[in-house]
Amino acid sequence: MDSWRKNPVVFWALNLPPTIWLVVFFIIPLGLIWVISFGEKRGVVDIEITWTLDNYLRALDPLYLGIFWKSIWMAFLATVVCLIVGYPVAFAIAFAPSRWKPLLLLGLMVPFWINILIRTYALIAVFRTRGYVNFTLEWLWEKAHAALTLIGIDPTWLLGARFDPLQLLYNNFAVNLGIVYAFFPFMVLPLYANIEKLDRTYMEASLDLGAGHWRTFISVVLPLTWHGALSGIIIVFIPALGAFFIPDLLGGTDSQLIGNVIERQFKSANDWPFGAALSFLLMYATFGALALRSLIAGRKQGLEI
Amino acid sequence: MKKRRGRGPRLSRRSFLAGTGAVAAGLSFRPGLSWAGEEPKLNFYNWDTYIGETTLDDFKDATGIEVTMDLFADNDELFAKLKEGNPGYDVIVPTNDYVERMIRAEMLTPLDHGKIPNFRKNVAKAFQDAEFDPGRKYSMPYMWGTQGIGYRKSKVDGVPDSWKYLLDSDRYSGRIALLSEGVLGAALKYLGYSYNSKDPKEIKEAEELLIRQKPHIKVFAEDNGQDLLLSGEVDLTMEWNGDILQVMEEDDDISYIVPKEGSLVWQDCLCIPTGAPHPDNAHRFINFILDAEVGAAIADFIQYATPNEAARKLLPDEYNNNPAIFPSEETLARCEAAIYLGEDVQRLRDEAWTRVLAA
């Protein structure tokens, strides 16, 4: 890999565009936000950089720490759900007949081609009081009601006098569902890639030697696909941590996450320095998670050698 | 302030026509330069579906000036686009609190009232001065409206004419939506204080009121209270009058009232941003819009309240007496416009709101 020393022109010709892209559109804007996080407001648009730590200290107020904690908890919950649902789905795709695989993967990816905001609005149409889920339940309720009446049982004590629609939206359940729905493919794809690579003979051996399916999964499959799961966990957890329009659209009166607080600082509250400080605290938390991942991955590698 | 235009699919066809009209006007070829040394062009930055059907063409017929119209979705977008320098707009339409912000940030050009005779001639007395722009040095009133309660008539008893039903009562528990933006001000109004209160004690009281009421509120809506009302998700919602007017056209069972305690009144203004390339044309355009007949045609089409007294005289009673467009004088007297409160108060109020949401 030291051929770049021999061919510096080729190396730079290939690497300059992405490097410039990274610097101009990522490093510099991020640096600006970082600098602003040490600023003080001086008026409507003026921010003076005084290298004060006040914005960070303010973020450590129990009010904001509580919201941070809630965001971490919600992101954790969504990641766990993605993981639990993602494994069987990834397995099903990996073990499907090969002519079905591309179709199943396509089925997983097609919703992803639609803008996330539109998909979230679609969830509202599905789950609201007069949405498709409740319409279906109401239809079933009416059928059951009619059937019970037909066989001469009074349905009132069993089913109630009238159909009560489920309140599926505007609560934390809806926010969690929205996050899981939005980031689910991020979990399945790395899992699928790892399961696909898995040598099936290991599982056959395990089953032949008397281990049950559960034991085989825990002792053989899980350790061998853990890398995929770890990647999935990271790329689901990080965006889930910063979610803001999902709680905005699906959340109830107590669904505020740290992403919402940050968004407000840049818009209606017009307090960029504080918003910048909150953003960076969130980013440090993310770095922490990434460091943890490489630590775990590193230790595993050490064991294998 | 958030979006409250974009009057739904019924009007989007018209906005499309208006848009193509503007494009066509931009494309048509006019040889030679105009009289005053300024090329006969004008760049207008406006909300969607917020101008008369033929206003821009009429202006061109009257003056030879071609108007190109771009659209913005909310004040934040307008502000962000002009913050780092004017990309070439001559006339913009910010809402009053953003007018104030822009004046402070030196983003607006002082107007020459001598070139806008229609202002003194046609505009109602109440709009000839403004707290957010003393002496109307930078802004001309374009349209105005209120924040209030949109409700489903068949699901509430009588007319919910007080903030009490939304903010301090379990009568409609679980069927209420409040707007994130402005709800603190509404709570202050209900408690008998100013919408723009700077007093930490009063703000705290409003915060506690909202926290107490939270179990009865279904959702703090961003700007979709009208959709929640239309889909039957809630039966009462705090909303902008324009949004409720839009769904009232679709559903007869929906109505709108400004609570008797008073509320927020907003005003969209015509301004010339700093660095406008055609300031003379901009003055002529503003004066043209403030003309009685032109103003009447616009108001008749977009159905917002016009501050143009002369224009109102030309419009039918059904417009002038619509309580969703014009609240009673008595109620209006208790309404306030949002003003810039300073950075410290803004922070205080944002933190109060964060606590309400976190509680």
My answer on whether B242 and B347 are in the same domain is yes
Structure confidence at residue B29 (pLDDT): 40
Retrieve residue A143's tokens: 């059928």
Structure confidence at residue B150 (pLDDT): 96
Rounded to a whole number of angstroms, the distance from the CA of B77 to the nearest CA of chain A is 10
Mean pLDDT of B337-357: 91
Structure confidence at residue B33 (pLDDT): 44
Q: What is the CATH number of domain A72-128+168-298?
A: 1.10.3720.10
- Which of A251, A261, A271 is nearest residue B347 as measured by Cβ atoms? A271
Least confident of B132-136, B208-212, B300-304: B300-304
Least confident of A3-12, A51-60, B80-89: A3-12
- Which of B104, B214, B357 is nearest residue A44 as measured by Cβ atoms? B104
Amino acid identity, residue A153?
A: I
Structure confidence at residue A162 (pLDDT): 81
Please report whether residue B3 resides in a domain. no
- Chain A residues touching B222 at Cβ < 8 A: 248-249
Integer Rg of chain A from CA? 25
β-strand A39-41 against B41-47: which pairing, if any? unpaired
My answer on whether B289 and B223 are in the same domain is no
Please report whether residue B250 resides in a domain. yes
Please report whether residue B112 resides in a domain. yes
Local structure of B196: helix, strand or coil? coil
My answer on whether B199 and B253 are in the same domain is yes
Rounded Cα gap, residues B36 and B20, in angstroms: 28
Nearest CA in chain B to A70: B358
Q: How many domains does chain B have?
A: 2
CATH number at residue B306: 3.40.190.10
Nearest CA in chain A to B359: A254
Q: Is pLDDT above 60 for B269?
A: yes
pLDDT single digits (tens) A149-207: 888 777 777 777 788 888 899 999 999 999 999 999 999 999 999 999 888 899 889 99
Retrieve residue B178's tokens: 């409040």
My answer on whether B190 and B164 are in the same domain is yes
Structure confidence at residue B30 (pLDDT): 42
H or E element in which residue B227 lies: helix B225-230
My answer on whether B83 and B22 are in the same domain is yes
| Contact between B351 and A248 using a beta-carbon 8 Å cutoff | no
My answer on whether B260 and B301 are in the same domain is no
Mean pLDDT of A130-150: 89
Residue range of the domain that includes B104: 8-138+267-320
Rounded Cα gap, residues A288 and A281, in angstroms: 11
My answer on whether B182 and B99 are in the same domain is no
Domain extents in chain A: 72-128+168-298
Mean pLDDT of B171-188: 93
Q: What percent of chain B has pLDDT over 70?
A: 90
Structure confidence at residue A54 (pLDDT): 93
My answer on whether B53 and B194 are in the same domain is no
Q: Is pLDDT above 50 for B23?
A: no
- Chain B residues touching A265 at Cβ < 8 A: 350
Among B82, B176, B233, pick the best mutation site for testing chain A contact (most A Cβ within 10 A). B233
Rounded to a whole number of angstroms, the distance from the CA of A104 to the nearest CA of chain B is 35
The pLDDT mean for chain B works out to 88
B190: nearest Cα among B172, B175, B176, B208: B208
Q: How far is CA B177 from CA A84, A112, B10, B151, B165, in A?
A: 35, 31, 25, 10, 11
ipTM: 0.86
pLDDT single digits (tens) A30-73: 999 999 999 998 877 788 999 999 999 999 999 999 999 999 99
Rounded Cα gap, residues B267 and B307, in angstroms: 9
* A168 in contact with B, Cβ within 8 Å: no
Mean pLDDT of A242-266: 92
My answer on whether B291 and B352 are in the same domain is no
The partner residues of B240 in beta bridges, in order of sequence, read B147
Rounded to a whole number of angstroms, the distance from the CA of B1 to the nearest CA of chain A is 8
Give me the phi and psi of B70, to 5 degrees please.
-105, 155
